[in-house]
């Protein structure tokens, strides 16, 4: 059974079309925010995901609505692609260095949304991206995916810190969605 989802979200602030495959495929990202495109591409590549995102947002205001809404749609697509979660590994963790930066991600696809974000970023911007939006993005993903995600990082360069966070989360997600066979990985029998 294919582990995929394709969704569209339209609001007065954004229009987003997203396709996700948990088992790899094409990557094509265009959000209008160059650095965010780079982070989503890193997420797809290091997560072993097929991911296409087309987003148009009110960037004349700022990037907040676009970044958060992409997170909401990605989280919803992740939940849909996972279905009842039968046969997945469920848990994942990764530690990723990028020059002076180091990020740790640990996650659980338990159906309970929770974000613990301990990621001080030394600069307010990385290119055309407000670095405070990284927390908003992952909170939105967690909310819609039912994902518990713990992120921590340190470093002296906002680009490196943010990219290490996306790559660590990607590597942890790759572990968690891995098809291992068998039933629902929970003593409750449901996730």
Q: Is residue 152 part of a domain?
A: yes
CATH number at residue 146: 3.30.230.40
Average pLDDT, the chain: 97
Residue 181 scores a pLDDT above 90: no
Q: Is residue 189 part of a domain?
A: no
Could you tell me if 88 and 79 are in contact, meaning their C-beta atoms sit under 8 angstroms apart?
Answer: no
Q: Which bin fits 56, alpha (ψ -120 to 50), beta or left (φ > 0)?
A: beta
Kindly list the distances between the CA atom of residue 189 and the CA atoms of 13, 18, 100, 105, in Å, as whole numbers in the listed order: 40, 30, 43, 26
39-66 per-position pLDDT tens digit: 999 999 999 999 999 999 999 999 999 9
Averaged over 154-171, what is the pLDDT?
Answer: 98
One DSSP character per residue, 125-177 reads EETTEETTHHHHHHHHHHHHHT-EEEEEEE-S-HHHHHHHHHHHHHHHHHHHT
Q: Is residue 16 part of a domain?
A: yes
Q: Is residue 188 part of a domain?
A: no
Q: Is residue 111 part of a domain?
A: yes
Q: Is residue 181 part of a domain?
A: no
Q: Is residue 182 part of a domain?
A: no
122-153 per-position pLDDT tens digit: 999 999 999 999 999 999 999 999 999 999 99
Question: By residue range, what is the domain housing residue 35?
Answer: 4-176
Q: Is residue 54 part of a domain?
A: yes
Going by pLDDT thresholds of 50, 70 and 90, the confidence category of residue 187 is: confident
What's the domain count of the chain? 1
């Amino acid at each position: 059974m294919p582990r995929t989802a394709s969704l569209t979200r339209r609001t007065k602030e954004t229009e987003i079309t997203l396709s996700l495959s948990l088992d790899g495929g094409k990557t094509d990202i265009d959000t209008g925010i160059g650095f965010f495109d780079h982070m989503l591409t890193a997420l797809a590549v290091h997560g072993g995901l097929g991911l296409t995102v087309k987003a148009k947002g009110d960037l004349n205001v700022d990037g907040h609505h676009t970044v958060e809404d992409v997170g909401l749609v990605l989280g919803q697509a992740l939940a849909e692609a996972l279905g009842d979660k039968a046969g997945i590994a469920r848990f994942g963790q990764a530690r990723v260095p990028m020059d002076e930066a180091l990020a740790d991600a640990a996650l659980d696809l338990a159906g309970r949304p929770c974000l613990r974000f301990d990621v001080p970023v030394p600069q307010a911007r990385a290119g055309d991206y407000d670095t405070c939006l990284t927390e908003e993005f992952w909170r939105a993903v967690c909310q819609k995916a039912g994902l518990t995600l713990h992120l921590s990082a340190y470093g002296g360069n906002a680009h490196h810190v943010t990219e290490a966070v996306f790559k660590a989360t990607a590597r942890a997600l790759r572990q968690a969605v891995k098809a291992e066979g068998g039933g629902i990985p929970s003593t409750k029998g449901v996730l």
